[in-house]
C-alpha cells in the first residue's frame, strides 16, 4: 500500500518540492480505504479530518442550495489529491464529496499531514503553487462564459467529464456515468436548459453522443475537440489546470486517441 501512496505523492504538484524522506513519511501515514458509489467522504462545513489521494474511481465535490439543487465544484479524477484547504487552526470542508462510482483512495489524517508540513515547509510551497495554478481554471471559465458560444461551453464541459470520469470502450468511445441533469449542465455552462437540451439532441442526431438514463456515451470526442480548437479555446491548458498540473490526455505524448486534427461534421 505504501508504494501506491508514494506513486500518488510523486505525481501530484502539492508534493513536488518535498525531499524523498518527507514523501516517504507521508506515504507511511496513509491508509487504504474503499468507498461505494454514492457514499459521502465528507459534508459541507464539516471539520476537515483527512486529506485524500484518489487511486481509482471518481469523486464529485458539490454544494447544495436551500431548494435542494446541486452545483458541481470539481470532478476529482484518479491521481488527484483533495480537498484544498487553508492550513488554519480549525479548517473545514467546503462542499460535499461523494463517490461517483466505487472508488479506492488513500487517506492521511490532517494532524499527520500538517506535522509533515511543520517539519518540511516545502509542502506549503507546493500547496500555494497549486492554488495559484488554479487561476487558469478561473480565467478559462470566465473566458468560456463571456467569449464563447454555448456549444463550445458544452463541448468543454463534456471533455472535462471525459477526463475525470470517462470509461474507455474498446471501440474508442467513452462512457460517462453519472451524467447529471440538464438543469445542472445549464448552470455549469451558463445557458438555458432548453437551449442545452437542443444542442445535446442535435449531437445525438449526428451520432456524436448517446444519452441514456444512467449516463452518456461519447461516440466521437474528436468532434468536441474540433469545436474547441476552431473557437481558439485552449482546452488542453484548461483541463490540465483542473487536474493540478496533471498531464492532459490531449497532450501529444499521452497516447490518448483524441487529437486536435479533425473538423466538426457538417
What is residue 155's predicted lDDT score, i.e. its pLDDT? Answer: 93
Q: Is residue 49 scored above 50 in pLDDT?
A: yes
pLDDT digits (tens, 9 = 90+) for 184-210: 788 778 788 899 999 999 999 999 999
State the average pLDDT for the chain: 82
Q: Please report where in the chains the cell 487553508 appears, as a residue.
A: 86
Q: Is residue 265 scored above 70 in pLDDT?
A: no
Q: Is residue 102 scored above 60 in pLDDT?
A: yes
Confidence of residue 247 (pLDDT cuts 50, 70, 90): very low
**Contact at 8 Å (CB) between 31 and 107?**
yes
What is residue 39's predicted lDDT score, i.e. its pLDDT? Answer: 95
**Which residues, in sequence order, are bridge partners of residue 167?**
175
Mean pLDDT of 45-52: 94
Confidence of residue 136 (pLDDT cuts 50, 70, 90): low
**Residue-range domains of the chain with CATH:** 2-133 (2.60.120.10), 137-242 (1.10.10.10)
Count of residues making up the chain:
266
Provide the grid cell at 220: 466521437
Q: What pTM value is reported for the model?
A: 0.67
CA distance 56 to 77: 8
**Contact at 8 Å (CB) between 92 and 48?**
yes
pLDDT digits (tens, 9 = 90+) for 152-184: 999 998 988 887 778 888 888 889 877 667 777
Amino acid at each position: 500500500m505504501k508504494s501506491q501512496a508514494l506513486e500518488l505523492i510523486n505525481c501530484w504538484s502539492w508534493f513536488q518540492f518535498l525531499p524523498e524522506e518527507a514523501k516517504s513519511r507521508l506515504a507511511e501515514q496513509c491508509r487504504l480505504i474503499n468507498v461505494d458509489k454514492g457514499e459521502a467522504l465528507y459534508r459541507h462545513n464539516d471539520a476537515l479530518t483527512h486529506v485524500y489521494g484518489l487511486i481509482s474511481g471518481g469523486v464529485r465535490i458539490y454544494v447544495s442550495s436551500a431548494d435542494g439543487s446541486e452545483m458541481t465544484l470539481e470532478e476529482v479524477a484518479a491521481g488527484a489529491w483533495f480537498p484544498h484547504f487553508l492550513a488554519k487552526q480549525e479548517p473545514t470542508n467546503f462542499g460535499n464529496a461523494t463517490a461517483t462510482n466505487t472508488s479506492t483512495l488513500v487517506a492521511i489524517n490532517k494532524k499527520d499531514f500538517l506535522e509533515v508540513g511543520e517539519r518540511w515547509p516545502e509542502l506549503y510551497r507546493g500547496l500555494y503553487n497549486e492554488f495559484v495554478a488554479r487561476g487558469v481554471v478561473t480565467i478559462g471559465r470566465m473566458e468560456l462564459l463571456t467569449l464563447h458560444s454555448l456549444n463550445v461551453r458544452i463541448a468543454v464541459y463534456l471533455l472535462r467529464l471525459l477526463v475525470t470520469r470517462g470509461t474507455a470502450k474498446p471501440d474508442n468511445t467513452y462512457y460517462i456515468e453519472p451524467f447529471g441533469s440538464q438543469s445542472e449542465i445549464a448552470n455549469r455552462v451558463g445557458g438555458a436548459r432548453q437551449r442545452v437540451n437542443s444542442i445535446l439532441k442535435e449531437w445525438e442526431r449526428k451520432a456524436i453522443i448517446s444519452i441514456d438514463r444512467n449516463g452518456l456515451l461519447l461516440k466521437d470526442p474528436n468532434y468536441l475537440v474540433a469545436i474547441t480548437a476552431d473557437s481558439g479555446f485552449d482546452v488542453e491548458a484548461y483541463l490540465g489546470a483542473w487536474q493540478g498540473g496533471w498531464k492532459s490526455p490531449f497532450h501529444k505524448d499521452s497516447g490518448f486517441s483524441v487529437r486536435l486534427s479533425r473538423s466538426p461534421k457538417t
